[in-house]
Structure 1
Amino acid sequence: MDDDKYALVEKIVKDMHNVLSKTTELYAFDIVPVDSNFRNKSPVLSAENCLGLESWCVKHVYMYCYSEIKEKYGMMSQRKYKRITTLDFERLVKLLNVTLLINPDITTLWNKRREIVQLLSLDKVSELQFSRLVLSRKPKCNDAFAYRRWLLGSILQSDNLQTNELENLINSELRICDETSDKSPNNYHSWSHRLSIVDNMKNVLKHYDMNSLYIKEYIFSEKCISNHVSDYSCFHYRQFCIRNIFNLDNSSWKSFENTIDINLRKVFVRLVANNLPKDGTVQATEDNLVSYTEENLINLLFSYNVKNCNCTVNNLALCRKLEVVCHELVLNNELIRFYHSHETLWYHRRFILHELIAMMYDHFSLFRNNGILVKKNCKHCSLNDMRQKQAKISRYDSNCIYNSVLFQVILIHENNFIEERQTDGDNYAGRHEKYLKFVEGLNNVM
């Protein structure tokens, strides 16, 4: 590289460092398409808290910075840190800033920044701001998300942070997840990062009301799946939120019911009333079922249950789980009808049906072993008839679950829905039927 290019690149590196260090509220970076330096000005652009670099110089700047990092600092981990001066760190940070903004998919360079942070030469909060700049241009950069999780883990371990500061950090992280998922559809790394943050908060913020966050994220995820019906990463996060709602306590459940815009109990009983068996064994209207208590409703739905142990069943918790999952099933019905032939919606439906079947298996103390329903040993009882392990259940036990009202309701509902979608020409309906038969083991009853 000749002296003119060398001087130009050095000026670009210096200009970018000045913008990064002086403008603390930068939130976006991008490469601006410019064919040549026709203005004879610096290609570093800064306006309204946004940073830009003209495209004509990207190749020269990147090769220069990356080559110097590799030649002078590539073996930094094998040196003694006391031999590296402050000027060396400052120079390395300037080069890393430019290189990672242009091409952030190099794990080695992010590890260099980790080494510098560990030596207290870089501020962790400022590094969060830098990685946000990277994600503004590359919203699917997994290394940037991993770097942010590493920084947050280190920050949250500090005893000096107040509760409001911790909450601000988490809220800021969730906003970044919103931005990256909106910029890039099917952003697996963004949704995985969000899941990781919410899931690990309970281990860090011990005095924080996690249930309120679970409710907030559940409502947020419902809006997302309605807007991004082909983004399975979004649906996977929705499934995570549903399982968190299962664990709400009584006070949080009341807050949850007051927050959402729908009556879960009415949705649940309407689904049951519209799909009751036509043999006349159960006769109940929607208005009657609404007036049932949780215990009476569960006794109706599992009327063929036979007690085999002394454990008490938490009918309240089970009824609430059924309300949440059945609401999800009704929502999935509407989305599939409106968005024709979207595979992701049918995959999510498999999750819903699996959860419903798993609840019934758990209630009847059953599990499926190599395609065979097996009686589950109760860990809390010591009855003599519970000592035999993994004994094949009898024909009566099979009828116990298959003849229950809830199973019949779900079976009738799914058969009707599959027939409706097949009539409408949705090929995924047939695949869903095969899933229920050969994966969930319902081939003998469908």
Structure 2
Amino acid sequence: MEDDKFALVEKIIKDINNVLSKSPDVYTFDIIPLDNNQQNKSPVLFLENCLGLESWCVKHVYMYCYSELIDKFCYKQKRHAKKFSTINSDRLVRLLNVILLLNPDIGTFWNKRRDIVQDMLLDKIYELHYSRLILSRKPKCNDAFAYRRWILDKIFQDESVSNIDSLVNDELNICELASDKCPNNYHSYCHRKWLVNNLKTVPKYTNMDSLYVKEYNFSERSTSKHVSDYSCFHYRQFCVKNILHLTSSSWKTLKSSLDIDLRKVMVRILAANFPKDTTVQASEENLIAYSEENLMNLLLAYTHRNCYCVVDFVHLCRKLEILFYELSINNELICFYKHHETLWYHRRFILHEIIVVMYDHFGLVRHNGALVKKMCKMCNNIDIRQKQNKIVRYDSNRIYSSVLFQAVITHEIRFINDRRDDGDNYADRHQKYLKFVEGLNSVL
């Protein structure tokens, strides 16, 4: 009876590996709930590139594979053996293929696959397909994502690889499928972030700007679908910082892909919250027609600087345009989806970045809760550096009296009061954050 069980397990292992070897397009795997083998046939199911295994045999197959792997391939005296014979490696791969499909959260077995890849007994592209199969069932498997990163790093270091664009697109699609299948997928977004950062060091990949634009648009779609997924919003923040470094041509591509006038969005928010005095006499239409330099001088109202560096008003204006676009989206989401803490956390990021833009422009930085002068790394003038030792009240007042700062604070006070009237308790928390974390208790 025991021999019959072992024979059945061996047949299951053989059937699964036959599917994996003969059907490279298989894209999903799952366990099919079934108490017993009622029809007396193989429990391995394969239909339309989908692989399945009936649940009644999972325990027997798993224990059989695990015991053999531990006894024969992970024994203490053999752990440091790096070379595998052809026969042993073939058997090892067949067992690993099955046991990792059933339980991919065992780092020891992933390390065994790494050893086999190092000995060039497994193809790297095949390993990407195999780990994708595992993620179809376990979309939050950190070991599978870590293995993919290891494989991709090997591929990117290979100078003979020419299909990097295809690999990148496949990887992005896998991350999207994993995050859609299982929301709050921290591992998926971390893997996506790693991929974008790592591509900066790949000489053959020259489409970083287009990738930044593509990822920013993707993050907008994702955040609109998963309003409580902070992993998704954290990736959105990563994308926002990336697009601030776009070239002029890529910036035009971004604006056309968004199908919205970023300048109008920013001016609309500012014009509705300008100080109620004669500080700003330009209409909303006039502000849209302003050059970047004129608009920034109006909003920041400060021309004297502590250094001789030339201000890039175009880059400065683009920063504020994209941040106010984020603020407008956040306004709509919070009004439509009430009592979602993630949206308020994202709002903190937006306002912090807007405040940092002003600090950078005025040569200040917040350190240990207090504003201090920021040393300019570009200027080497000793006299200028000596003047930057202390911060006087005028240095902080020039920020608080700027049109941009007053408009942002007025907008936030109104928004907080409106949300408080709607019964959203996170509005009070947001106000406390602005007061005691951003240090705005004197103006709120």
**TM-score greater than 0.5 by the shorter chain:** yes
- The 8 Å contact of residues 199 and 205 in structure 2, kept in 1 or not, is answered as no
Q: Distance in 2 between matches of 1:291 and 1:417?
A: 28
For the residues of structure 2 that align with 1:138 and 1:438, how far apart are their CA atoms?
41
SS in 2 for 1:185: coil
Q: Deviations over 1:174-213 (max 9, x none)?
A: 1101111110010000111111111111211445221011
TM superposition shift of 1:304: 3.6
Distance 1:439 1:390 in 2: 24
3-state secondary structure, aligned to 1:53? strand
Shift of residue 238, structure 1, vs aligned partner: 0.6
| Over 4 Å off, 4+ runs | none
1:79 matches 2:81: yes
Deviation of residue 279 (structure 1)?
A: 2.6
| Post-superposition CA distance 1:66-119 (Å, at most 9, x none) | 0110111003432362xx421111111111111100000011110000000111
Residue of structure 2 in register with 1:445 after alignment: 443
> In 2, Cα distance between the equivalents of 1:136 and 1:209?
28
Partner of 2:127: 127
Q: In structure 2, what is the Cα distance between the partners aligned to 1:378 and 1:198?
A: 30
**Counterpart of 1:374?**
372
Supply the AA of the counterpart residue of 2:377: K
| Contact map agreement 1:104 1:143 (CA 8 A) in 2 | yes
Whichever residue aligns with residue 146 of structure 1, its letter is A
Letter in 2 for 1:68: E
AA aligned opposite 1:239: Q
Where does 1:20-419 land on structure 2 (aligned, <5 Å)? Answer: 20-75=20-75, 76-79=78-81, 81=83, 84-162=84-162, 165-388=163-386, 391-419=389-417
Could you tell me how far 1:390 is from its partner in structure 2?
Answer: 7.0
Greater Cα offset, 210-219 or 330-339: 210-219
Partners of 2:343 and 2:428 in 1: CA distance: 14
Q: CA deviation at 1:310?
A: 1.2
How many angstroms does 1:438 deviate by?
A: 0.4
Give the counterpart letter for 2:27 in structure 1. Y
Q: Say which is worse superposed, 54-63 or 272-281, in terms of deviation.
A: 272-281
How far off its partner does 1:251 sit?
A: 1.4
Deviation at 1:379, TM superposition (A): 2.2
Shift of 1:387: 2.8
Is contact 1:305–1:364 with CA below 8 Å preserved after alignment? no
Contact 2:275 2:407 (C-alpha < 8 Å) held by counterparts: yes
Inter-partner Cα distance in structure 1 for 2:82 and 2:20: 29
Does structure 1 conserve the Cα–Cα contact (< 8 Å) formed by 2:82 and 2:115?
A: no
1:8 aligns with 2:1: no
- Same amino acid, percent of matched pairs: 63
Amino acid at match of 1:136: S
More off after superposition, 364-373 vs 71-80: 71-80
Structure 1 unaligned segments of length 5 or more: list them: none
Q: CA separation in 1, counterparts of 2:230 and 2:203?
A: 29
Distance 1:246 1:168 in 2: 26
Q: 1:296 Cα deviation (Å)?
A: 0.2
Residue 301 of structure 2 aligns to a residue whose secondary structure is: coil
Distance 1:305 1:368, change over 3 A: farther
Q: Matched residues in 2 for 1:214 and 1:59: separation?
A: 45
In the alignment, residue 301 of structure 2 is paired with which amino acid?
Answer: S
Q: Which moved more, 1:3-12 or 1:418-427?
A: 3-12
| SS of structure 1 residue aligned to 2:52 | strand
Question: Secondary structure in 2 aligned to 1:367?
Answer: strand
Shift of 1:380: 2.3
Q: Deviations over 1:344-403 (max 9, x none)?
A: 000000000010000000000001122111111222224454334874411111111110
Counterpart of 2:85, as a letter, is: T
Q: Confirm or deny: 8 A CA contact 1:377 1:389 kept in the other structure.
A: no
Q: Alignment length, in residue pairs?
A: 442
Conserved 8 A contact 1:418-1:430:
yes
Q: Secondary structure at the match of 1:204?
A: coil
Separation in 2, partners of 1:412, 1:436: 13
Q: Deviations over 1:21-54 (max 9, x none)?
A: 1111000000000100111111111111011000
Question: Matched residue of 2:200: which SS?
Answer: helix
- SS of 1:78's partner is coil
* Contact 1:377–1:386 (CA under 8 A) maintained in structure 2: no
Letter in 2 for 1:187: N
CA contact (8 A) 2:308 2:379 kept: yes
Contact 1:27 1:133 in 2 (8 A): yes
Deviation string 1:277-306 (CA, Å, 9 cap, x unpaired) is 113322222111011000000000011453
**1:203 alignment partner, SS class:** coil
**TM-score normalised over the length of structure 1:** 0.97
Counterpart contact for 1:116–1:122, Cα < 8 Å: yes
